Each structure stands twice: as structure tokens, then as C-alpha cells.
């Protein structure tokens, strides 16, 4: 199997400190150890949220390390508030309680949700709690603008199958369409599509994804079609075609940060300017109004024994036949639990915490909440394995000895009732750690009281 992950990490905007950097790395021929069994989408090992959305079954300790993924749900999601959003330091896998998980700081504003990015942060990511295994997925949005600023609407599977719309802040007349198979880079996959004034005009962007073809549409007009047959690779006898259950990801991230590789910075239109006139109220923003999901039937040969969750049941994960639809539960008892030991909860156990991580005992040294990434595979070598920055410019994850928040220095941009902003959906961990990151984050808490123009 051809896997180049952690190539995904090449798009990760990491400002992690020593705590996050100490998390074990995972990748090809380097699976996670038993005590921290779950390989996050950022190429680091941990427990808790590491085992939820984005957990890579191939690079984890076992296929059972990752939690079963909630199946597709057809619905029109009106993102008019944060009521349907939980922080990744709160969400434990119960998709009946939230349809979206956030990393960074989303903001409710004027019947929409803003993805915000203040200076020296890594932006905001919204991920769906339900996966999609083929379907029609649309979002209505405007993008951010400026050099080094990238807005993205992508489908990302746990084994790095990916379908993209990406928007470079220096070209607001274009939507970049792209796809990847298992994270393997192919620079011929990208195609530019016309989308005028993406920063000011609302457009609806759509993936129509079936087992045989993918269509990219803008405002209902099909701009690109990819057939599965056209992706056949004679060297390995397989179709390099996205074909595994994927989450919807909406993000804003600073691809032009100097800590990213030169290729990423150049692709993003140059170095990011944290004093740009395109920033409003002290931050860059993208605006999301709704996401519409129409689920398609699974492939005819799908291994189905239930209707609740997707699981990988084959070490050759990455193909349709490696997925099973089951009734397996996907809710963790705590941020110390894993897919292998889902009931671990130090608040309820009578045993003393153990550092061994064996037999379901609590591992007090494990990272529990991974960092934030806005982008998909970018293929830039110098930033690979960065993994795990947080939107507050501080440490990602948590040592798990006390708090499961793990988001250290998340910024809060004010919650004045007269400002038009609503931060009520921010997790308690984020609220308690407000302005604990960069010095500018403190200033942002006051600047954001000005209403967006």
C-alpha cells in the first residue's frame, strides 16, 4: 500500500510547545504504542480525542484503537449559531449531541458562523461529527482574503482520502479543486475553477461523490468531473480514488506562516501579514451559512451488519472492501478512554491511576486532545510532523494529569451582548483559558467588541 502520511502534517500550522512535541509520532512503519494507541490526523499518538474523528487506523496500535465513526446523516445544517458545535476538548463521540466539532474559535454572527484567525494563531477548523461514505455535500460561504491566508472546504477520511475546494487569499476569483488518495501526492490532481469575488459574494460549493465519479460544482454549475476509471494506477493495480468514509471540514488557516515550508508559503500567495487591511476587528475571517448533506447508499458490496457506525476491518484499509457498517458504539467514557478501552474513566474507577496504559488502566502521561490544522495534504516537506498546534498559539493536547481541556492558550475575542458576536458555544476549557496564549490574544478580547462591517 502506498501511504505517504504524515504528508498531511505538511499542511499543519503548528505552534506547539514542548508538551505537544513530546507526544509520540506515528506514521508508516511506526504505529502508536499500546499506552498511547491512537494516531491522530496530525501524526501524533494519544488517547481520548486522538481516538475520535481523524484517528488513522493504519498507524494506530490496532484497527480497534480508533473509535467507530458515526454514519452519514442527510440534513441541511443551518449554521446560524454555535448551539450545534462542541469544542474538541468537550466532544467524546456522541454525535447525537453535536453535529460539529471545533478547534480554534468559531464565532456566531448574523445568522452565520465565522471561522476566525487572530495574529499568531492557527485559525479555526469545523469538522462534522457524522462521516459521509458517498453523497452530495454543499456549503454556502464566503472566504477570507490576503497573502498567506487559505480558506478550505474539504472531505477528509481517516486514511487521508481527500476531496478539496481551497481558496487562496490572493486570488479571490478562483476555487482550487483537488483530490488525494491515502495522502499520496500527485500535483496534477489540482484544477482551478472560476468563482468570482469569493471574499464578498456568497457561493454554494458542492461535491457530488459517488463510487464511480466526483463532480465539483459552483452555484449548481458542474465545473469538474473525475471518474474512478481515470485514476487507475497500473504500477500497483489499484484506483487512486477517494473511497473511504470522510468528515466534512471547513477551515481558515495561515499557510503563509514562516514556520511552514517554502512550497506551502508560495502556494498560499506569500507570507502572511498580521497587520493586513483585510483583517477586521483584529482577525481574518471566513463566513459559513449552511452545509447540506445528502447521503448516498454505500457500495453494493459493503459489509453491513448494522446501521450506526463505520469501522475499518482490514489492514489494507483504503478501499471500499475494508469498511464495515456496524452497530458498534462510538462514545468514550472520558478523555482517557480509547477505542480499545472505551469505558476508562478516572472519575469512576476505584483503582489508582496507572502510567502503564495497559489493560484499560488510566495513562496519566498521555496526550488527550490533538492540535488544530486547517488544510489537507500540501506536500511540503519541511513542516511534516509538526503536529498539534492550537488556535491560541500555545500548547496543544494535555498531559492528562488534571484537565482534559488541552487547548491551553485559546483566544477569546469578546462576548459583549452589543457586539453582535456569540461565544456561548465555546467550550468551558476554552473560556477558562481565554487570553492565556500570545500577548496579542489579550488585546483581541477587547478589539472584537467592534461590530463587523
Q: Which residues are catalytic?
A: 162, 166
Query: Going by C-beta distance under 8 Å and a sequence separation of 6 or more, which residues neighbour residue 299?
Result: 134, 211, 320
Q: Which three cell numbers stand for residue 139?
A: 456549503
Beta carbons of 240 and 184 less than 8 angstroms apart: yes
Beta strands 309-312 and 69-70: pairing type? Answer: antiparallel
Residue with cell 478501552: 341
Q: Is the four-CA dihedral 272, 274, 278, 281 of positive or negative sign?
A: positive
SS (H, E, C) 89-135: CCCCCCCCCCCEEEECCEEEECCEEEEEECCCCCCEEEEECCCECCE
Count of residues making up the chain: 453
Q: Please give the Cα distance from 340 to 196 (Å, whole number).
A: 48
Which residue pairs, CB below 8 angstroms and at least 24 apart, start in 353-362?
355/35, 356/35, 357/33, 357/34, 357/35, 357/36, 357/37, 357/47, 358/34, 358/35, 362/336
Residues forming beta bridges with residue 280, ordered by sequence position: 283
Q: Cβ contacts of residue 66 below 8 Å, gap of 6+? A: 38, 51, 52, 55, 56, 57, 60, 158, 312, 339
Pick from 420, 392, 413: which is nearest to 88 by CA?
A: 392
DSSP state of 11: G
For residue 449, the SS3 value is coil
**For residue 366, how far is the Cα from the chain centroid?**
21
74 and 40 in contact (C-beta within 8 Å)? no
**Residues forming beta bridges with residue 295, ordered by sequence position:** 135
Q: Minimal CA–CA distance to 78: which of 293, 242, 284?
A: 293
Is the CB of residue 433 less than 8 Å from the CB of residue 398?
Answer: no
Amino acid at each position: 500500500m502506498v501511504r505517504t502520511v504524515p504528508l498531511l502534517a505538511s499542511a499543519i500550522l503548528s505552534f506547539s510547545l514542548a508538551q505537544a512535541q513530546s507526544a509520540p509520532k506515528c506514521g508508516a512503519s511506526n504505529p502508536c504504542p499500546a499506552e498511547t494507541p491512537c494516531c491522530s490526523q496530525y501524526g501524533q499518538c494519544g488517547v481520548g480525542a486522538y481516538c475520535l474523528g481523524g484517528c488513522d487506523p493504519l498507524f494506530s496500535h490496532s484497527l480497534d484503537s480508533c473509535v467507530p465513526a458515526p454514519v452519514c446523516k442527510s440534513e441541511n445544517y443551518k449554521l446560524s449559531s454555535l448551539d450545534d458545535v462542541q469544542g474538541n476538548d468537550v466532544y467524546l463521540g456522541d454525535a447525537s449531541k453535536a453535529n460539529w466539532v471545533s478547534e480554534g474559535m468559531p464565532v456566531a454572527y448574523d445568522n452565520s458562523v465565522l471561522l476566525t484567525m487572530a495574529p499568531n494563531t492557527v485559525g479555526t477548523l469545523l469538522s462534522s461529527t457524522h462521516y459521509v461514505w458517498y453523497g452530495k455535500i454543499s456549503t454556502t460561504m464566503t472566504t477570507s482574503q490576503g497573502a498567506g491566508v487559505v480558506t478550505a472546504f474539504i472531505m477528509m477520511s481517516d486514511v487521508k482520502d481527500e476531496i478539496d475546494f481551497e481558496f487562496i487569499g490572493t486570488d479571490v476569483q478562483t476555487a482550487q479543486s483537488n483530490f488525494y488518495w491515502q495522502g499520496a501526492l500527485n500535483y496534477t490532481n489540482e484544477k482551478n475553477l472560476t468563482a468570482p469575488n469569493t471574499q464578498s459574494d456568497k457561493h454554494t460549493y458542492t461535491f457530488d461523490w459517488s463510487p464511480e465519479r466526483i463532480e465539483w460544482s459552483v452555484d449548481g454549475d458542474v465545473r469538474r468531473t473525475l471518474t474512478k476509471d481515470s485514476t487507475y494506477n497500473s504500477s500497483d493495480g489499484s484506483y487512486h480514488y477517494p473511497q473511504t468514509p470522510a468528515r466534512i471540514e471547513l477551515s481558515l488557516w495561515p499557510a503563509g506562516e514562516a514556520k511552514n515550508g517554502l512550497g506551502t508559503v508560495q502556494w498560499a500567495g506569500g507570507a502572511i501579514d498580521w497587520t493586513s487591511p483585510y483583517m477586521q476587528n483584529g482577525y481574518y475571517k471566513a463566513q459559513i451559512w449552511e452545509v447540506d448533506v445528502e447521503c448516498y447508499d454505500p457500495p453494493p458490496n459493503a459489509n453491513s451488519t448494522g446501521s450506526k457506525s463505520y469501522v475499518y476491518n482490514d489492514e489494507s484499509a483504503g478501499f471500499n472492501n475494508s469498511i464495515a457498517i456496524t452497530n458498534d458504539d462510538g462514545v468514550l467514557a472520558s478523555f482517557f478512554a480509547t477505542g480499545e478501552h472505551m469505558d476508562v474513566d478516572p472519575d469512576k474507577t476505584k483503582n489508582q491511576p496507572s502510567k502503564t496504559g495497559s489493560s484499560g488502566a488510566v495513562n496519566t502521561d498521555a496526550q488527550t486532545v490533538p492540535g488544530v490544522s486547517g488544510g489537507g495534504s500540501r506536500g511540503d516537506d519541511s513542516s511534516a510532523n509538526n503536529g498539534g498546534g492550537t488556535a491560541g498559539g500555545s500548547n496543544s493536547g494535555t498531559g492528562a494529569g488534571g484537565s482534559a481541556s488541552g487547548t491551553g492558550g485559546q483566544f477569546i475575542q469578546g462576548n459583549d451582548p452589543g457586539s453582535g458576536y456569540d461565544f456561548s458555544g465555546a467550550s468551558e476549557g476554552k473560556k477558562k483559558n481565554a487570553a492565556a496564549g500570545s500577548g496579542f490574544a489579550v488585546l483581541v478580547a477587547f478589539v472584537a467588541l467592534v461590530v463587523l462591517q
